Structure 1
């Protein structure tokens, strides 16, 4: 019978399971099972079910845990502290360059699992919609400054900026083409500035 800690979702136990799941995914990738996370966390598989319900619930919670541990909120604040908008755009690309390798293992699993699970598909779409909203806010600032390049609207510029910085593009350029994080940040920033920012 599980302890009261597991029944009532003691935060330390929950945190331990999430951290163990993250480590397991970095090692095993999409083959990671609930049992792997439970074993690493030193709890029963039933404890994982009690905290998260199922694999879908665990992965969804892991995304939030990951962002909290890596300080995504503070990193995003640094982006929007920048003036003018073009500088915020540069900082956003730098953020992608720094953040993407840290979450790559979990993102791969989440992207693959979304086609098999509606809850994970919703979690993934929510995440990418949030990313696009950030890009749109930057493009809106650039437009307010009168620097959005001719032929672009705030929405079309946001679509391009968001799409170019998706994990698939980062993965292709760094893993397949051998770009460093610095090269990625410099080259993508140059591409977006030359295409979307006037002057």
Structure 2
């Protein structure tokens, strides 16, 4: 193969990859709408393909099963892309980088809570579906565990930063503090307060901020913040 042949082949491969990624995005968008409107069980792959404007074979080529499609919906909700096209952890997301760059501990906690609110606003409904159908489904069970692990890892970054700054509550270790952050900023509290309780995302973030400051960084807690 000549150098010109190689140069021609690379754009073709890149073009195929881009088209495949675009198809996965269309499928995930259509499937998310249908799963949330009609339920995961009743939604068929044929209906997903029709809603995405793609043939059933293209859907199966992109995602081998309906479980894989739901995992793709979760990936797109969290990362904006399928896991084949996204970073392996959440640390690369802009809001996480902004948290890491913030020098003030109290504001760092708020930025983290606000970033979690943005993530949950996109993903909590899909996370609920994955968790509800994960029992007995190894594909969905693995996806749920991966999602929890990724969220916990990014919450641990916040705790470790507080620990390095010497502002973490005395006697509270990193592991237990990470448990607290994972609970407060978890999809369960978001669903209870925002999706069912009618809170705004900002109200939830402010509540989470106050709660985390009181539990993790009590010397910086301001009840009027």
* C-alpha RMSD of the superposition: 2.2
| Whole-angstrom distance in 1 between the partners of 2:195 and 2:32 | 21
Distance in 2 of aligned mates of 1:13 and 1:176: 33
**Match for residue 77 of structure 1 among 75, 91, 97:** 97
Q: Which moved more, 1:156-165 or 1:167-176?
A: 167-176
Aligned residues: 192
Instruction: Identify the residue that residue 62 of structure 1 maps to in structure 2.
Output: 73
Question: Which segments of 5 or more consecutive residues in structure 2 lack a partner in the other structure?
Answer: 1-15, 220-225
Distance in 1 (CA, whole Å) between partners of 2:207 and 2:28 is: 35
Q: Does the residue aligned with 1:22 lie in a helix, a strand or coil?
A: helix
Distance in 1 between residues matched to 2:45 and 2:96, nearest whole Å: 31
Moved more, 51-60 or 94-103: 94-103
Q: Does 1:121 align with 2:141?
A: yes
Q: TM-score, normalised by structure 1?
A: 0.85
Cα offset, 1:127, TM superposition: 0.8
Matched-pair contact (CA < 8 Å) for 2:77–2:122: no
Task: Tell me if 1:142 matches 2:162.
Answer: yes
- Measured in 2, the distance between the counterparts of 1:22 and 1:175 equals 17
CA distance in 1, matches of 2:97, 2:39: 31
For structure 1, list consecutive stretches of 5 or more residues without a partner in the other structure. Answer: 1-7
Against the structure 1 CA distance between its residues 178 and 42, is the aligned structure 2 distance closer, same or farther, given a 3 Å change threshold? closer
Q: TM-score, normalised by structure 2?
A: 0.76
Write out per-residue CA displacement over residues 91-127 of structure 1, whole angstroms, 9 at most, x where no aligned residue: 1111222232222332221111111311111111111
2:216 corresponds to 1:196: yes
